[in-house]
Chains A and B, each alone.
Chain A
């Protein structure tokens, strides 16, 4: 009996620790970055990275929030005024499920905002943040 309880509570804890909104596709994308990373990812660091004002990129878009809005659950806007669905997985459950698409946008947006490619750590932290939102 005790053993069963322990197993159940462990299972619950594991479930709680895992990203709450991610499906199998999103997990696969995260696993890809986890394999490349040295350490683990942090949603807190991801949040800071997302909100930070960077230099080195295009002056018109110094932050991820320039297009994706301050809150990851908000609807963003491109420079051509087209709405961008929220980045938060709770609001847009189809996001981050296609590695090719994710890599394409990390490429473009990191070059625009930072003037360079993002590191694996930055990408993983960013995703950890969005998966938790």
Chain B
């Protein structure tokens, strides 16, 4: 009897904790990257793109998806090193000899994952598929399986 009560209490306590207590924070930890690459949009986790993609992004910040995101050379080098170190280990094979993507939203699995999943209303609210936080509350912590 006592045992059952203890067990029940534990289960209730666990159920009451917020869901993300259980999922690991996989967000960007580097402060410089958080500040500089989180000013105009959420700071994207480097693990989504291979190293070469980050190198390409970081070498053309003056023309960053139509925006001027240029940085002083010291910050630029530091951030590139962080992104490259934490990048996706393998390049996307399906691309073959072509250029690796610089958009997460153009990766094949990303498109497959979102096709038919996104309502018109959610899309209108987000404005752009790059606005991950609009649909994934835990996106900054790297949590996308919330909804």
Q: Which residues of A does B touch, CB under 8 Å?
A: 58, 60, 78-82, 104, 107-109, 111-112
B107 contacts which chain A residues (CB < 8 A)? none
| CB < 8 Å neighbour of B69 from A58, A60, A81, A108 | A108
Least CB distance from B31 to A in Å reads 14
- 20 residue pairs of the A-B complex, CB under 8 angstroms, read A58-B66, A78-B39, A78-B40, A79-B66, A79-B67, A80-B40, A80-B128, A80-B130, A81-B127, A81-B128, A81-B134, A82-B40, A82-B41, A104-B72, A107-B70, A108-B68, A108-B70, A111-B68, A112-B67, A112-B68
Within the assembled complex, what's the spacing in Å between the Cα atoms of A40 and B42? Answer: 39
Within the assembled complex, what's the spacing in Å between the Cα atoms of A101 and B67? Answer: 17
B55 contacts partner chain A, Cβ-Cβ < 8 Å: no
Q: Which residues of B does A touch, CB under 8 Å?
A: 39-42, 66-72, 126-128, 130-131, 134
A112 contacts which chain B residues (CB < 8 A)? 67-68
Least CB distance from A110 to B in Å reads 9
B130 contacts which chain A residues (CB < 8 A)? 80
Closest to A77 in B: B127
A80 contacts which chain B residues (CB < 8 A)? 40-41, 128, 130-131
Within the assembled complex, what's the spacing in Å between the Cα atoms of A82 and B127? Answer: 10
Within the assembled complex, what's the spacing in Å between the Cα atoms of A123 and B10? Answer: 60
Within the assembled complex, what's the spacing in Å between the Cα atoms of A36 and B5? Answer: 74
Residue among B41, B67, B71, B130 having the largest count of chain A Cβ atoms under 10 Å: B67
Closest to B42 in A: A82
